[in-house]
Structure 1
Amino acid sequence: MSKIRPLSRVASVFTTPRAPEDFLWLVNPLSSARQLRGIVTAVVPETPDSATIHFRPGRGWQAHQAGQYARIGVEIDGVRHWRSYSLSAPSGADPAITVTANGKVSETLVRRTRPGHVLFLAPPQGDFVLPEHPRPLLMLTAGSGLTPVMSMVRTLVGRRRDADVVLVHSSRTLDDALFREELAALGDEHPGLRVVHWVTSDRGRIDLTRTDDLDTVVPDWKGRAAYVCGPPEMLDAATALWQSSNVPDQLSVERFAAVLLDGAGGQGGLVTFETSDREVEVDGSTPLLEAGEDAGVVMPSGCRMGICQSCLIPLLAGQVRDLRTGEVHGDEGQLIQTCISAAAGPVHLEI
């Protein structure tokens, strides 16, 4: 270390105002003292509108637990956009995300990402993870909600021959079902994994307002630790069903978005990002986090649903509306959760 520091000081003469390490990415795209990065190693199509993107993270990445997610940054037209994606690779392996083309960032990842491209990363997080001790499991998923559960399945069946897992996955057609061939092969290889495809075009949506469908497909569902991931209405119904069945502690749910109040939007207004010298006119239903990202402001964020507090930014002036409750609030200097807050008139933020 005593030799490196003088060399760094000498190099800084030629790189000022940048630090020497800022130029290491020209040689090694994963080298950065300021921003964790990953390099794409493979892009595997899953369906016509989805793909799994494998990447090798640089130094500073924390190994993920099965079921966790990570924030992924992508530069589009010179602007860095961040979104959270569940990690679909098993724990202990290099990470991967499985993305469905729905929205600007997801479209870019699915349609344009190639091996060798660089992704910006934040460390894995989330508590939608496997139980500490072995026990029978029920995985109930729909659409892209299968992604974090697939990480769990891949982790379990590869390490525990006594795994007891029932996976019920809902999709519009069999062709729309993610990982269908791999799940079939895993089910054949591991007798402790039973996969049930619930095709909504044939059977309609699985009914979680009562127990009939679950009783038929998984008769012992009340005795299993349940993991549910899918659309908000599915999660709401599952939460109510497990509660009414007196087994709420058996249920874990993963939400991809905050639960917002219907009609919570208001007048909106001009949002000024003071430090970034940006301003944008937004409606009353757009979270300030999304407004900032769309304006090219590097916004802190984490869960993007009002839980982790990673997106807090000081409010300099104006008022905001909590999109979950409709409450309007705001005092100078108050820390605002930008992922679940929208402008209620002109707003100035310290970022």
Structure 2
Amino acid sequence: MTHRLAPLFEGHTDVQADIDGRPADTADHATETRRLVASYHPRRLTLTVSEVITETVSSATFRLRSPDGADLPPFLAGQYVSVFADGTNRPYALSSSPATLDHWDLTVRRVPGGRISNHLIDTLAVGDPLTTSGPMGVFHYNPLFHGDNLVFLAGGSGVVPAISMIRDIVDNGLDRRLHLIYGSRTPDDVIFHEELDALAADHPNIRVDHIMAEPGNGWAGPTGLLTASLIKTLAGPLDGRMVYVCGPQALYPYALQQLEELGHPRRRIRFEANGAPADPTRQAHWPADTDPDTEVTVTAGGTSFRTRRGRPLLDALEDQGVRPEAACRSGECGLCRVRVLKGTVHTAEEAQLRLSDERFGYTHSCVAYPVTDLDLDL
């Protein structure tokens, strides 16, 4: 069928005749497109643990490979995958280099009372299967906006995305500088200690400074907290450099305060999403006189149950066997988005909602807390 505007163009008759004379295209392009998209962005992968590397007394790296030996999907240094285990999931940053895709490395640090970190470290062994999502997340280098002179403030296991970024620079010979300032409790707690120091010694565009909260005897480096004064001493004038921050939740507001004291603009600071708030009642918009330990009734997915006001909706749903799709558990990815049909929730500051979500009643269940009885649409 000739489009009604075609006659307006010179030579359209010859072009149309050429099109009409071609053999019919019977290829299933939709299926091929879906296959290609799935290879880069799989919802689930069942991988095999090929090696377990003890990093410190409280952390380990699990090397994951495809059972058939195929390369794994590509990722950007700083991204994470969601690990599915024990009826729930948790995000863990990839510590390996994007230059090598025959395996992924997941480095996990034990969290006291942590459901999945302890489960993985205590039970996962060579040969075991592990289900993950594909790579995701926005905590990675952006060549258009981040510049080529970077600072990374890390605390504890927050060094994991930093080592991936450093390995990326080294393995791919990137014309990029990165200064890692890494705070740990003691020298024995430093993850990748020897490798970080070796990479910094061998590559002038990589610099690593360690800071110890409890240095003990024999430590000659910086000690204490990552203050504005110490950042300035180690990194020099920030001059608008992009600063990445990753570590325990308490590091984020503290690091922001120190960087603001140095006059560093907020738009030049990148925070890694790192879980639901430890205490949602400390947020300014938590409803007054609402006791987080009292219970309400939640109705969702054909079931009703009681749960504490101070417990994230996603956790409460999973306890009842109702498992919405989820990944970051930090309010960022939006996969656990649910609609509140009736009732009120406290949506934490961490939630990165769409502009229309408040109007239509949507929230991210991983960082939403039931203030009243709720009816949910999953």
Match of 1:227 among 231, 244, 267: 244
Q: Which residue in the other structure is 2:232 paired with?
A: 215
Q: Which residue in the other structure is 1:309 paired with?
A: 334
Aligned CA distance change for structure 1 residues 35 and 258 (closer, same or farther; 3 Å) = closer
Match of 1:42 among 51, 56, 76: 51
Compute the displacement of 1:170 (Å). Answer: 0.4
Q: Which residue in the other structure is 2:60 paired with?
A: 51
TM-score, normalised to structure 1, is 0.77
Aligned CA distance change for structure 1 residues 162 and 317 (closer, same or farther; 3 Å) = closer
1:146 and 2:159 aligned: yes
d(CA) in 1 for partners of 2:116 and 2:242?
34
1:298 and 2:323 aligned: yes
Compute the displacement of 1:123 (Å). Answer: 2.0
TM-score, normalised to structure 2, is 0.72
Compute the displacement of 1:316 (Å). Answer: 4.6
Q: Which residue in the other structure is 2:272 paired with?
A: 254
Q: Which residue in the other structure is 1:240 paired with?
A: 257
Aligned CA distance change for structure 1 residues 204 and 292 (closer, same or farther; 3 Å) = farther
d(CA) in 2 for partners of 1:195 and 1:336?
40
Q: Which residue in the other structure is 1:65 paired with?
A: 76
Q: Which residue in the other structure is 2:92 paired with?
A: 85
Q: Can you list the C-alpha shifts for 1:220-277, whole angstroms capped at 9, x where unaligned?
A: 43353221112333222333343454432332221302454517463332334424x4
SS at match of 2:250: helix
Count of aligned pairs: 309
d(CA) in 2 for partners of 1:60 and 1:158?
17
Task: Please tell me the residue identity of whatever aligns with 2:225.
Answer: I
SS at match of 1:296: coil
Query: Rg bigger for which structure?
Result: 2
1:206 and 2:206 aligned: no
Q: Which residue in the other structure is 2:39 paired with?
A: none
Match of 2:140 among 112, 122, 129: 129
d(CA) in 1 for partners of 2:347 and 2:178?
39
For structure 1, the residue ranges without an aligned partner over 5 or more in a row are 1-32
Compute the displacement of 1:174 (Å). Answer: 0.6
SS at match of 2:60: strand
Match of 2:209 among 191, 196, 199: 196
Task: Please tell me the residue identity of whatever aligns with 2:61.
Answer: T
Q: Which residue in the other structure is 2:345 paired with?
A: 320
Aligned CA distance change for structure 1 residues 281 and 205 (closer, same or farther; 3 Å) = farther
Q: Which residue in the other structure is 1:346 paired with?
A: 373
d(CA) in 2 for partners of 1:123 and 1:254?
18
d(CA) in 2 for partners of 1:235 and 1:156?
25
CA contact (8 A) 1:269 1:344 kept: yes
RMSD value, Cα: 3.1
CA contact (8 A) 1:53 1:98 kept: yes
For structure 2, the residue ranges without an aligned partner over 5 or more in a row are 1-41, 216-221, 351-356
